[in-house]
Amino acid sequence: MSITTQIIEQNETYGAHNYHPLPVVIEKAEGVWVHDVEGKKYMDCLAAYSAVNQGHCHPRLLKVLTDQAARCTLTSRAFHNDQLGPFCAELAAFCGKEAVLPMNTGAEAVETAIKLVRRWGYDVKGIGEDQAEIIVCDGNFHGRTTTIVGFSSEADYQRGFGPFTPGFKLVPYGDFEAFAAAITDNTCAFLVEPIQGEAGVVVPKEGYLRQVADLCKQKKVLLVADEIQSGFGRTGRKFACELEGVEPDVLIVGKAAAGGFYPVSAVLADRVLMDLFKPGDHGSTFGGNPLGAAVAREALKILTEEKLVERSAELGTYLMGKLQDIDSPHVDLVRGVGLWIGIVLKPSAGGARRFCEALMGEGLLCKETHENVIRIAPPLVITREEVDWALTRLERVLKMD
């Protein structure tokens, strides 16, 4: 039995079956490349759902991680640590917000934002007790906690997990009129992904976010942007909200915040809003720990110093153009922005899975998103030559029978 089969069987036998991975077992990684246990090399076109925008095993992150691990990993929030202050200051400056509340995973940061905007609804907007409503979108993905899956529109995410938290209202994504019609006096916030990643890189029509942001201001509704996947350069901007010149009231980040070395997420807002949290209102044992904070500080510096945002814009435009030029009988459309592209297949193509399996055979790791979308989101450190390498293989596979 090959070592690959052996490890996969072990995982099947002893692991929970809550994923359906491609049959590849990765043992090491570097930049845009990963190596499997058989010695085969692949290009990673998923980048851990954009958590490794800075590239796998970035040497600067490795150094900071090991140095900091040898110095101090965790204090407790009962004391200060020397990394947290600088981390908050640097992340706040990068994001253009006044204050940072650090957490660990994306879902936790979304939960934190929900608490923050609800409290604002009661304490500032004057909504009656337990009446606050948050508007969310069809096709949303904000994580997997019970509260969050409770307002998903995906049956698979919800089935058998109820009862769910009330106070959420679903509207169609990209439909400004529907959003406007859903606002009531009890609406405290609109929680939205500026571009929906897990839904298959769904880009709303131009002007949507701008219109939504303007109405939010007018109606006293907080705009909460979940940029956990779209942020940190993925779209060719620091944050996807910039594509429409929008400044959300609350910004949620995660994933690439620490370049794949460590789970670091955060909620950002201006001081007046963030100060609605008082000591004891919220917390996390690991949130803001010195190890995560040190790595995240370096991960931010890398984005800036290696000009990864600019690279994403430039190579994204190039890749998108080339993909749109491929004459394939299976492709319905290619959409996206920056190095974040969804190849939408026609129903006749027989699903995206078989294309992802064929791409794997060609040395390219992609993952189908829902039934019919191949998502292309490589680490942002990818070079033009590497993009061309991927294009040759994508073209071959998209033209197969």
Ligand X SMILES: *Cc1c(COP(=O)(O)O)cnc(C)c1O
Residues that bind ligand X (CB under 6 A): 49, 105-107, 110, 141-143, 193, 197-198, 226, 228-229, 254-255
Exposed e or buried b per residue across 80-91, where buried means at least 16 C-beta atoms within 10 angstroms of its C-beta: ebebbeebbebb
Q: Shortest gap between Cβ of 241 and ligand X (angstroms)?
A: 13
Question: Smaller CB distance to ligand X: residue 110 or 222?
Answer: 110
Q: Is 255 a catalytic residue?
A: yes
Question: Smaller CB distance to ligand X: residue 188 or 192?
Answer: 192
Q: What is the C-alpha to C-alpha distance for residues 170 and 172, in angstroms, rounded to an integer?
A: 7
Active-site position among 226, 277, 286, 355: 226
Question: Smaller CB distance to ligand X: residue 300 or 394?
Answer: 300
Question: Smaller CB distance to ligand X: residue 59 or 283?
Answer: 283
Question: Smaller CB distance to ligand X: residue 168 or 397?
Answer: 168
Q: Shortest gap between Cβ of 234 and ligand X (angstroms)?
A: 10
Q: Shortest gap between Cβ of 84 and ligand X (angstroms)?
A: 20
Q: Shortest gap between Cβ of 349 and ligand X (angstroms)?
A: 25
Q: Shortest gap between Cβ of 148 and ligand X (angstroms)?
A: 8
Q: Is 226 a catalytic residue?
A: yes
Q: Shortest gap between Cβ of 9 and ligand X (angstroms)?
A: 26
Question: Smaller CB distance to ligand X: residue 54 or 328?
Answer: 54
Active-site position among 87, 94, 141, 168: 141
Active-site position among 238, 255, 261, 355: 255
Catalytic residues: 141, 226, 255
